[in-house]
Chains A and B, each alone.
Chain A
Amino acid sequence: MAEAEAEAGGVPTPAPENISGKEKEFQKAKSYLLTASTNTGINLYDHLSRVLGKILDERPDNVVDIFEDVSKDAKRTKFTSDVDTVQDKVDRSTEVALAQVQRKLFTKGGEEGEDDIAQDEEVETPLPNIMELCFFFEQAGIGLNREEMIRVWLALKSLVDNYPLQHVRFWGKIFGTEQNYYIAEVEYREGDEEEEEEEEPEEAQDDEVPEKEVDEDADEEEVEEDDTPKPDFKPPPTVPKEENRTGANKKTYFVCNDPGKPWVKLPLVQPNQISVARQVKKFLTGRLDAAVVSYPPFPGNEANYLRAQIARISAGTHISPLNFYQFDEEEEEEEEAEGRDHFVENIDFEGIPVRDLADPSLANWVHHVQHILPQGRCSWWNPVQKNEDDFEDEDEEEEREEPDEPEPETGPALLTPLAEDEEIGAMPAWTPALSSNLVPQFAIAVMHSNLWPGAHAFAFEKKFENIYVGYGHKYKSDNYSPPAPPPIQEEYSSGPEITETEDPTPEEEAALRAAQQEAAEAAEEMEEAEEEDDDDD
C-alpha cells in the first residue's frame, strides 16, 4: 500500500517515446484519476487505493452493499490527525462523574481493612439482605436489575452508617420525567431521632408566623377605616398533622436520585397534602424542589407531593401473610377504643403454603399499614373540638351551623385481609400469581396490585417483602378530570338600598325647593312666635 501511494503520489516518470496506443490510453486515464479536487485536495486514485486497501485488510461480508459507506468513512478519516492533542484532557463526562461518585460505595471506609471486616460481621445491622429479596423478586419477574440492586444495597449501607437507624427497607423506585427516585423506608432508634428533628419544628413555626403578621395587618386596617366589610367566611380548621412515629408519619423516608448520591430526608406529611394529592395526578420531575403546578393548588413542593404519594401507596399496598404480625396483647385493652395501631411480629408464625397464598380469595394476606381516612390522617381528628378553646367563636358558629358532632370517619382496621379491599370497577384489587407454572412445588407466591400498578409483594415460607416500581399513580378506570372550580359568588341581592333612583325633574326640584322654603318660613315664624312667647313670660 505504502509503496503504491508513494508511486502514485510521486512525480510521474517521463513517458518513453515508443509507447503503444493502449498504454497511452492508460496513462491518460490515470492522470485524469490523479487530478486533485479543487475543493478537498484529494484525488480519486489515492482515494480508491485507500478504500480498496481498507476493504482488503478488513474483508467485510457483502462488501458491495456497504461500499459507499466505506468510501465515505475513508474520506472522513482523511483529515483527522492520529495524534490526539486532547489526550491529556481530563474527561469530565457525566458517565465518569457518576462512576466516581459510586466508587465510594464500593470502597471500604477505613484504612485498616481486615479489622473492619471482622467488626462488620459482628455488629448487628439493620440492613436487610437485599440480594436474597432480589432473588425472590427476580423469580417473580418484578423489581430491578441485580446490578442496580447491589448499588441500592450499598447506598442503603451508607445510609445505615450515617444515621442512627433501627430498621431499614428498600421501599421502591418512582420514575420521574427527568430523574428517578430511589426510596428508603427507615425507622430511627428510639430517642436518637430528636436531635435530627429539631430543624423541623422551627420550619413549622416559620410557616405560622407570616400568617399571624397578615392577620395583624388586617386588624390595623380595620381600626383605621371601620367601614371595610369583614367577610364572614371562616376557613375550615386545618387538620393537624400526625406526630412522628404515628399514623401516616410512622416511618421516615429518604430518597436519592442515583444510588451513591446523597440521601435526602423527606418532610413529614400533612393531612391536607394527602387530600390534595388525591385530587391531582401529576408526573414527578425528579427534582425535589420543583413546584407542583396543579388545581387544586398543592400545598408544598414536589418533596411533599412525593411524600404524600408514598404514604398513600404504603397504606394501599403494603401487605403481609396472615398471622405474620399480630396485635400486642398487653396494649390491646387500652387502645381498643380508638383503633389499634401497633402490632408485633408473631414468633409462632409457621408460614402459609404457597398455594393458599396465591389463592384468588385473597384471605391469607393482610394490610399492615394503617388505612388513611378521607381526612388525610390515619386516626380521626375531630374538627369541632378546637372551637371550644375560644368561646367567642363558638357562639357565632353555633348560630350559623348546627352544633352536631361530626360523624367520625372510619376505615378498615389494621391487619384487615385483602379480601375486603374494594374492587376497581369489576376488577379485583389484587392479582395473585405463582412465580412458576412449570415447577410449582418450588414456586413463590406473588401479588400484583391493580389499584397501584407497580406495587408487588412476594411471600415464601417465612419471608415476604413489598416493592413499588412505577410512576406513583393510582389506577382509575375512568379518565382523570380535575375538580371543578368552586361555584361563583352570588350577586348581592338587589333591594331598595342599592337601587339607583331616578333623577328628579326640574319641576320636582322646584316644588321641593318651594316646599323647603315654606317649611323654613314656617319654622321662622314659629321661632319668632316662641320668642315672643318667651318675652311675654
Chain B
Amino acid sequence: MESDGLHLSIDYVGSSGVMLSPESKAALQTSLVILQNENKFNRVYFWGKILGVKDDYFIAQGVYKDEFAGRKTFYSKDCIHWGLLPPATAEMKEKSKLAKGRFTGDPSYEFEHVETKKVGEGEEATEEEETTIVKEEDRLSSVIAEIDDDVRIVPRGAFVQVPTAEVVINRSFEGLSVQEAAKLCNYMHFREAKRLDLKTLLQRANMDKAIDFMDSVEDDVPRGSWSLQFERGSGLLTLRSLQWPGYAFFHIPATHKYGSVYFGTGEKNQDLPFML
C-alpha cells in the first residue's frame, strides 16, 4: 500500500479487520515521508503489521525506480523510528522455519530449536543435541520475504517491464473492469516469474511480454487459497489470502486504486488443506 494516500487506502481494507489507530496513522504519515526523503526512495510502501505477543512490528518498504530490485525493508515499533532489516538469505529462511510460535516483539529475542541427531552407526550410535538459534530480527526478515514471495499480488497491467528489464509502474493502467476483476487470472504474483515456463506454447503465444512477465494467481496451489469477495456490491474488490491469513488486497474496479497490506501474526497457515 503506497504511503501517500495511506489514510484513504487503509479504509478500503478496514472490512478485513485491518485498522490503524489514529495515532499510528498520523505517526506513519509523518515518519514515512522522512524515511523516503532520507533514503532517496522513489516511493515508500506501508507493508503492514506483524503482531507480537508483547509488541507489534510495523513494516515499511522503500523502492527505487525498479520495483523488483533493490527493495528495502524497514521495521518500527512506534511508527517513528525505522530500522533497516537485513535482506533475507536462503540460510536465514531455512533457519527461521525452525522457530515456532508467535513473534515476541523484541528483535533481539532468540528462538531456540533443539534437534537430536544420531551420530555413528549401529550400536555405537549416540544421540547428540544440536541447538539452532534463530534471532527474531532474522526471522522477521525472512517471514516478510516469504510473504512477499507467496502472496504479494498486483492487478494485471499495473506494472510493465520495459525493454531494459526494469519493472516500472504502468502509467496508463486504468484498472480492471468489474467482470475482469472477478477473475483470479487477472492478478499477478509480484515477484520474479517462477512458473511461466510451465505454460504451453499456445498459452504463451497470447501473452503480452510487457505485461505478462509475472505468474498469475490462478495457478496457485491449493486451489481456493484465495478468498475473492466483492464488497459494497461490486464497488470494492477484496482478495484475502487463506495461506497467510491477514493478507488483504483491495482494488476498486475501473480505477487505478489498488493496494495490499498484511496484518497478522507472521505465521503461515499450514493447516490450509484441512480447512477448505
B230-246 interface mask toward A, CB cutoff 8 Å, 1 = contact, 0 = none? 10111100001010010
Q: A94-B233, A427-B102 are known contacts. Are A281 and B21 too (CB-CB below 8 A)?
A: no
Stretch of B40-48, B125-133, B268-276 contacting A (4+ beta carbons < 8 Å): B268-276
CB of B53 within 8 A of CB of A281, answer no
A490 vs B189: C-alpha distance when bound (angstroms): 52
Tell which of B10-18, B134-142, B145-153, B190-198 binds the partner. Answer: B10-18
Among B16, B20, B51, B271, find the residue whose CB has the most chain A CB atoms closer than 10 A: B271
Cβ B53 vs Cβ A141 within 8 A = no
State which of A96, A139, A180, A428 has its C-beta within 8 Å of the C-beta of B233: A96
Within 8 A of A (CB), among B50-98: 51, 53-54, 78
Cα–Cα distance between A98 and B227 once the two chains are bound (Å)? 20
- Choose among B240, B270, B271 the residue that contacts A175 (Cβ–Cβ < 8 A): B240
Interface stretch (choices A194-202, A305-313, A429-437, A499-507): A429-437
B54 and A431: CB pair below 8 A?
yes
| B102 lies within 8 A of A450 (CB) | yes
Given the known interface contacts A283-B276, A471-B245, A479-B270, the answer about A138 and B22 at a Cβ–Cβ threshold of 8 Å is: yes
> Does A141 contact B274, Cβ atoms closer than 8 Å?
no
List B contacts of A143 (CB < 8 A).
17, 19
A231 to chain B, nearest CB (A): 31
Q: Is the interface of A mostly helix, strand, loop or mixed?
A: loop
Within 8 A of B (CB), among A132-166: 137-145, 147-148
B199: interface (CB < 8 Å): no
Set B14, B51, B274: member contacting A148, Cβ < 8 A: B14
The chain B residue sitting closest to A448, CB to CB, is B51
Tell me which residues across on chain A come within 8 A of B240, comparing CB atoms: 175
Partner of A438, one of B19, B23, B100, B235: B23
Q: Which residue of B19, B22, B233 is within 8 Å of A99 (Cβ)?
A: B233
Tell whether, in the assembled complex, residue A95 and residue B234 are in contact, meaning their CB atoms are under 8 Å apart: yes
Q: Are A148 and B101 in contact (CB under 8 A)?
A: no
Name the interface residues of A383-424: CB closer than 8 Å to any CB of B. none
Say which size band chain B's interface belongs to.
35 or more
A-B contact count, CB below 8 Å?
106
In the complex, are the beta carbons of A477 and B19 less than 8 A apart? no
Residue among B17, B102, B274 with the most chain A CB within 10 A?
B17
A469 — which chain B residues lie within 8 A by C-beta? 17
A435–B22 Cα distance when bound, in Å, is 10
Which residues of B have CB within 8 Å of A470? 17
Instruction: Indicate whether B186 reaches chain A with its CB closer than 8 angstroms.
Output: no
Q: Which of B16, B101, B242, B274 has a CB less than 8 Å from the CB of A427?
A: B101
Interface hits, A352-390 → B, CB 8 Å: none
Q: Is the CB of A436 within 8 A of B233?
A: no
Residues of A within 8 A of B229 (CB): 178-180
Partner of B21, one of A99, A139, A145: A139
Taking a contact as CB atoms under 8 Å apart, the answer to whether A431 and B21 are in contact is no
> Does A529 have its Cβ within 8 Å of any Cβ on chain B?
no
Is there contact, CB below 8 Å, between B275 and A282?
yes
B265 sits at the interface (CB 8 A): yes
Asked if A480 is at the interface (CB within 8 A of a chain B CB), the reply is: yes
Residues of A within 8 Å of B233, CB to CB, are 93-99
| Closest CB in chain A relative to B213 CB, distance in Å | 17
Contact B172 A69 (CB under 8 A): yes
Cα–Cα distance between A480 and B245 once the two chains are bound (Å) = 15
CA distance A138 to B19 in the complex (A): 7
Closest residue to B10 on the A side, CB-wise?
A145
Nearest neighbor of B162 in chain A, beta-carbon distance:
A65
CA distance A435 to B25 in the complex (A): 13
Residue contacts A-B, CB under 8 angstroms, 10 given: A95-B232, A97-B233, A99-B233, A142-B19, A144-B15, A145-B15, A175-B227, A427-B102, A437-B78, A438-B23
A residues contacting B by CB (< 8 A) are: 65-66, 69, 73, 93-99, 137-145, 147-148, 173, 175-180, 281-283, 425-428, 431, 435-438, 448, 450, 453-454, 469-471, 473, 477, 479-480, 482
What 20 additional pairs, Cβ within 8 angstroms, besides A138-B22, A139-B21, A144-B17?
A: A69-B171, A93-B234, A99-B233, A138-B21, A140-B21, A141-B20, A141-B21, A141-B24, A143-B17, A145-B15, A175-B16, A177-B224, A177-B227, A179-B229, A282-B274, A282-B276, A283-B227, A283-B275, A450-B53, A477-B100
Residues of B within 8 A of A (CB): 11, 14-17, 19-24, 51, 53-54, 78, 100-102, 171-172, 178, 224, 227, 229-230, 232-235, 240, 242, 245, 265, 270-271, 274-276
> Nearest 10 A-B pairs (CB), nearest first?
A95-B233, A145-B14, A141-B21, A98-B233, A69-B172, A469-B17, A480-B271, A94-B233, A177-B227, A95-B234
